[in-house]
Structure 1
Amino acid sequence: MNVRDFVQKGTRKKIGNGKATNIWEDNWIPGNKDGRVTSTRPQDCTIRRVDELISGFRWRKPLVPRTFNRKDADEILDIPISISGREDGNYWLHSGNGIYTVNSGYKTLSRETTQHIVGRADEAETSSANSNGKQWKWLWKLRVKRKIKHFIWRSLNGLLPVNALVFNRTNHGDPICDGCGDQNESIEHMFFQCCRAQEVWKMAPIQWDGLTGQTGNFRVWWNAMLEASGRIEGREHIELTTNILWQIWKRRNEWKFNAKREHPWKTVNKAQQEWQEQVSAWSNEIMTPEDAGREGGEVEPVEVRSDEVQIKISTSVQEQTKCVGIGILAINHSHQVMSAWGLIDRKAVNQLQTIAEAVKMAIIKARHQQWQKITVHVPSPQLLKVIMSGVAKDIKMSTLADDINNLRALFQKCSFCLDGRLDKRCDLISDYALGILQDEEWINSQCV
């Protein structure tokens, strides 16, 4: 695969007005594997561009299910329609903001190459295929840096350039261990048998005393260690051990190439610190809105100005029908209801996208009321971060974030804050909306 094909494979069309996207040839459906439609084009079908599937900033629902198979139709109807009328663009799937960079391209290519090599190695296994499949699956799921996973993979396959391996392959150099000077430096000697490695393990917070009989073969030792994954904190112990192995290798290289000795406690400390940083980063990445709210502590009350309208939002999902009920409440500085809306949507997407759709609709309603200054209470820390940064990690959220910020510019003042859940009436409206057939609006606070 050349570079052009590689970049094209990782790029999707980001739908704006749909005029520049070919339905049948372009990669524009985020939920499909290669972004292409899987439906066979009907013989009498004359539509060619995506804008022909759109009317009034909405998908033409009778036309879409009639033209595409159910899978494609569901995926298409789930794509947010931009209300700004912007041109179609390109979105790079492997970066945090949809923009292609040489760095993101290189990292993606390296990751895919490594996974391909591992896949081929798995296919080559015979009698131990099942155990090795588990071995690789476990390795790539560990919460450690990618370079450390690759390092362990090389160690398991006997590819780490220790002295004995280099000497056997090239007949150059000295196979003797530089650390102890007593034995040939194999992978197993470097990790476990060298006196310098043993110094590190003595100070490590984790001891694998039951595996001392397996240290003659690193792959056997690694597979035996993975059996601890079912124990309490077993996964954490395996991840920390992986970082210790990495630091032993780095310590060995510092001595061999730079003649620098490092105290074993410093080696252990580096391993612990690097592992804790990676776990923390991983936890933040998968944090749910509820978790994020708890971690942030109590939400500070928002100062309400007399000339600003406070917009509160709530969403409810009916599991059986997948309908979404949206409740929108507008209150003044005296906490009196100015307007309220109950909206019904016939689809349920992921939670973050559902809330983003509700925020967009709330701002549109406020614009129709010709309010000039509003504060929108966003019920999701993750969405608030996306809105304020303008950076979304998926193509659908990127479109919604663009729309929200474009709408924001239509007001004299439009600010956002994290919803402290101080008013439960909004929740009641979203629940009520699940039972209506069409959107409803109230302007009398006594009706709410």
Structure 2
Amino acid sequence: MGDTQGVYTVKNAYRRIMGDYSDNPGTYKWVTLWKLRVPPKWKIFLWRVVSGILPTTDNLIIKRVEVDPICLMCGTTHENIMHALILCDYSKMVWNISGLPVTNILTNHFQSWFIGVLDSLTEGQVRLAVGILYYLWLARNSALWERSLPRPTSTVRRAVMAEEAFTRLGRASYQPHATVLPESDPHDRPRCYFDAGYRQHTGEATYGVVLLNHEGVFMAATAGTLPGAFSPIMAEALACKEALSWLKGCDTQMVDLLTDCMELRNMVTSRGTGTRSYVGVIVDQCRTTMSLFTSCSLHYISRAVNMHAHTLAR
């Protein structure tokens, strides 16, 4: 079984059959799977996915089970594992709402897709991605057995809540790689005011962003909705993310961000804030985007001063 001394062990037999670490994109990193800090049922589910043994319609037909091959979630394409969890229109909406940067992983094989996830996301983001995969499959089963499909936001919310509960139990830990942002306030940099609006009774969220030059003269502005916001602080974090993306699109290299949310400012600039919640994932994405600027810092201001963006967000 591959042992240089000719000694048989279960470990060597397992590695011989299932494979070990490999640089080949077509071979899954099995050891990495079992070391993931996720709930046990998520890990077993993920093992079934990468092994290709989920009872999707294509696998059932191979086993000579007479079923309709059409996907139950979109009703347009034959179902397989990659389609059900990644490529289906419903699944795409769920991934877009989650905010995880996985849409740029282009492949038709799940193993290659998940290796891309492991290589490009942080530990906390990978944990959330596994949770979304698990609850996407539950949504698919709901369409099969109950003839009903939950809203994409509901599927994301279930994954987020389960990930947060698991983290609170102390079964997962994450140490951020963020640095403290500079508190300097040069007078020659433009100022970007952003704010979020959140309606508790409907769950609707909006944002507004206003960019002024260093003399306070209007330069540009934008506003929009924030799908997938489950709380006021999540809306503020998403507004920060939208502002940063917009600024990058405007080719802004140096900017001061100004928010009237002290909690968000403390989370972004704190050394000890980890990716332990969905808000933490968004904050981590904001830190990553901020590092792409030549100079970018986040400052707290009073709501009265932030009326520029506050008006747009409402």
Give the TM-score of the pair, scaled to structure 2. Answer: 0.47
Higher relative contact order (CA 8 A, sep 6+): 2
Greater Rg by CA: 1
Give the TM-score of the pair, scaled to structure 1. Answer: 0.34
